[in-house]
Structure 1
């Protein structure tokens, strides 16, 4: 066994820290959803059954979103993927988009709810705080990959970016704003807020309202942080 900056080599297998962190976030979300279902007197095992569908569709949606809107640092374009279709399913170099993951995950939960004949809005509500928590955890995968950083900075919390991971035009700078951290903190605050809202005012909310609140709060933070993102993501690049 050996460990490098990006993962763990275990014989012929290679486990990337990025994937491990994402799975940790998904499991944390499922545990929280399980607890919330139990508090509502529902079958808590629904959380784990739904997780499988949410992950499968979520990963597919995240990949499709990346293919349609690849970041500059990925070094590829949508046209490249269209001419090299097999690379669409090659995850070795990363390439996942959170908006696509959310859309795909919701679609997966819809399929699961239809099969189990349960209310989709129930699943979405118990998923909302956990989804924000999973995003807060998952953003640390960007730290491991040395991506999703902001402009150069001399502030004490600036992070060192290795030369090979610096964007073109910023090769002479060493420390950058930890944009991944800012978004992680925003998501953590969002998770706490959504959980508080559910605990304190859940009896006043209609089923599905909590997820709608998530669809407002998360994009607000993401929109504001995009203004300091160096790794521009073009639409249908």
Structure 2
């Protein structure tokens, strides 16, 4: 879906992604200032993080849809479709590269970026709404979303309304954003650098693991949705690391002595 502004065509999918990215950067700027970090790093970091995030997102999508792209290799570069897990992986690599280069605390910057990241995900999901994609199985629930016949998946052409997966993820992400912002302030004296990012992985991992059960024709490994392998691992590792840091290590105050 798109609209015209003079000679310019604005695609709503891209517009929502851009708005999400802008909101994420704005939140990260606020968080950097709150933590007394130089926000200039944020804008310099973006020059590395955003391209690697886009490359990772595209790579994940292409692997996911390899049956199609193996027959249409000309669409691998420049085609539509992004995967959030690839975007996160690429972004993490970008942050690690930049923080190593500038010799600044990577874990601290992951915490600065995490709330803005999940907010950007939530806003960006509305792009899926305008493209009539990211919907689940048919439903007769009041909030089921109508999908045009041309956008219905094979074997589901006779159904009209489907689970609005984009909206479920929007609610998941916006709620997660609020939680991370509250936790980062209310328990700031008890948190270690990296805890907010761990909480992001745990929270989003649990939510996404559950939501995968509503999706149609997902990429699977061993009969299990690939996203569930990824999010399940993220939750287990995140909980393990968080437990170790707060139960097995001395309190942050003691480490500073």
TM-score calculated relative to the size of structure 2: 0.81
Task: Tell me the number of residue pairs that the alignment of Structure 1 and Structure 2 aligns.
Answer: 222
Contact in 2 for aligned 1:66/1:96 (Cα 8 Å): yes
Question: Secondary structure at the residue paired with 1:205?
Answer: coil
> Are positions 1:65 and 2:60 aligned together?
yes
CA deviations on 1:98-156 (whole Å, 9 max, x unpaired) are 01100001111112212222111121101111111011101111101101111222222
Question: Secondary structure at the residue paired with 1:139?
Answer: helix
Alpha-carbon deviation of 1:230?
1.5
CA deviations on 1:51-78 (whole Å, 9 max, x unpaired) are 23221111100011111112xxxxxxx2
Structure 1 equivalent of residue 76 of structure 2: 88
Structure 2 gaps, min length 5: 227-257
Alpha-carbon deviation of 1:190?
0.8
Structure 2 equivalent of residue 195 of structure 1: 181
For 1:17 and 1:234, how far apart are their aligned partners in 2?
Answer: 30
For 2:72 and 2:155, how far apart are their aligned partners in 1?
Answer: 28
Q: CA RMSD in A?
A: 1.8
For 2:162 and 2:90, how far apart are their aligned partners in 1?
Answer: 32
CA deviations on 1:3-27 (whole Å, 9 max, x unpaired) are xxx1234566543211110111111
Structure 1 equivalent of residue 235 of structure 2: none
Candidates 188, 191, 211, aligned match of 1:205 = 191
> Are positions 1:138 and 2:133 aligned together?
no
Q: Which has the higher contact order (CA 8 A, sep 6+)?
A: 1
Structure 1 equivalent of residue 134 of structure 2: 148
Bigger Rg over Cα: 2
For 2:145 and 2:9, how far apart are their aligned partners in 1?
Answer: 26
Structure 1 gaps, min length 5: 1-5, 71-77
CA deviations on 1:160-219 (whole Å, 9 max, x unpaired) are 100000011111111111111011101111111111111111221111111111111111
For 1:102 and 1:223, how far apart are their aligned partners in 2?
Answer: 16
TM-score calculated relative to the size of structure 1: 0.87
Alpha-carbon deviation of 1:46?
2.1
Question: Secondary structure at the residue paired with 2:76?
Answer: helix
> Are positions 1:125 and 2:117 aligned together?
no
For 1:84 and 1:229, how far apart are their aligned partners in 2?
Answer: 25
The 4+ residue runs of structure 1 with deviation greater than 6 A are none
Question: Secondary structure at the residue paired with 1:8?
Answer: strand
